Amino acid sequence: MAEKILFVDDDPNILSSFKRTLRKHYDIETAVGPEEGLRAVRDNRSFALIISDLRMPVMDGIQFLSKVRETSPDTVRMILTGNADLQAAMDAVNHGNIFRFLTKPCPPETLILAIQAGLRQYRLVKAERDLLEKTLRGAIQVMADVLSLVNPEAFGRGSRVRRYAVDMGRRLQVQKVWQLETAAMLSQIGCVILPEEALHKIYNGQPLTAQEEQLFSMHPSVGAELIAKIPRLQDVSEIIAYQEKHFDGSGIPINDRRGDAIPMGARILKVVLDFDALETAGLPRAAALLQMKRRSG
């Protein structure tokens, strides 16, 4: 499917001329002014390239393309203007991460060359992102598979709390649910340091020896350190590190963070882990929820 290009200008005649000149070569859409342009981006986030006029009412092209960057970071952005000056060019690069700064009147051959360069840049960014995402998914899956082989008890618990955490995250409108899902799935990865019989005791509410207690208290930090080595999982690592932290600031890790300073994902994970522990120990759901409500801190 052809990559879409969006032209944004407050002059409909200029937009019509772009469409006439380029429609045989590219899939062109136009928007009259920045507000219509933002609506087009929100409705269709698949624009490969957006070329905007600089001087427009309500917001200029730099402000417009800065907002585009927030919504559609992969889209390549260009400025086309009849009022070229050094400061405008600097602002475009610094604030809007603009790929090209073109001046009017722009000959068709110059514009086509710039579009070709912009589309090459878009394909490069997309290819790198796809590769990174596939690598990231593969790394997460490998860690989950290793946990399932080394410690099936820990893997089983991660799988159970994953479903609870995702459901709660969606109900609470957490923005990056994938981070919460990954943290829940790998929340027990640090338990590779524990013997399986110790985990069996923990998940069934049985007392631990002093050595087992010490090892278990270390598992969030061990898991967080393992996860932190994977690119783009720093936030997931922090959720795992704080999964046993209490809202009042007690618990591990021992530091001054409390309340809303604790990551939302970690607070959700703490709740679902506690609930899972009570349910696994044999309590009916209603009784487990009642017991959790009575826990201060």
Phi then psi for residue 80, to 5 deg, are -125, 120
> Sheet containing 47-53: which strands, arranged edge to edge?
27-32, 4-9, 47-53, 76-81, 100-103
The residue ranking higher by pLDDT, 279 or 197, is 279
For range 128-154, the mean pLDDT: 83
pLDDT in tens, 101-124: 888 888 888 899 999 999 999 999
Phi then psi for residue 77, to 5 deg, are -120, 135
Confidence of residue 200 (pLDDT cuts 50, 70, 90): confident
Residues 220 and 191 sit within 8 Å (Cβ to Cβ): no
Residues 6 or more apart whose Cβ sits within 8 Å of residue 97? 65, 69, 77
* pLDDT value at 35 more than 90: yes
pLDDT score, position 103: 81
Task: Give the angle subtended at the CA of 212 by the CAs of 208 and 215, to the nearest 5°.
Answer: 145
Structure-block tokens of residue 193: 């340091």
Give the highest mean pLDDT range of 54-63, 197-206, 254-263.
254-263
The closest alpha carbon to 81, from 97, 96, 100, belongs to 100
Confidence of residue 196 (pLDDT cuts 50, 70, 90): confident
- CA atoms of 232 and 174, how far apart (whole Å): 18
Q: What is the pLDDT of the chain when averaged over all its residues?
A: 87
The angle that helices 264-280 and 285-293 make with each other, rounded to 10 degrees, is 130
- CA atoms of 91 and 79, how far apart (whole Å): 11
To the nearest 10°, report the CA torsion of 235, 240, 243, 248: -40
Q: Beta strands 47-53 and 27-32: pairing type?
A: unpaired
pLDDT score, position 141: 87
Residues 6 or more apart whose Cβ sits within 8 Å of residue 170? 177
Domains along the sequence of the chain with CATH: 4-128 (3.40.50.2300), 151-293 (1.10.3210.10)
